[in-house]
Amino acid sequence: MPDNPPAGHLDDDDYPAYTMGRAADLLGTTPAFLRAVGEAGLITPLRSEGGHRRYSRRQLRIAARARELVGQGTPVEAACRIIDLEDRLGEALRHNEELRRDEELRRDEEPRGRPDGPGTGDGR
Provide mean pLDDT across the span 92-112: 91
Question: What does the pLDDT look like over 44-94, one tens digit per residue?
Answer: 999 989 999 999 999 999 999 999 999 999 999 999 999 999 999 999 999
CB of 62 within 8 A of CB of 83?
A: yes
List the end-to-end C-alpha distance of the chain, in Å, as a whole number.
80
How far apart are the C-alpha atoms of 88 and 112, rounded to whole Å? 38
More confident call, 5 vs 84: 84
pLDDT at 116: 61
pLDDT at 85: 96
Question: What does the pLDDT look like over 24-48, one tens digit per residue?
Answer: 999 999 999 999 999 999 999 999 8
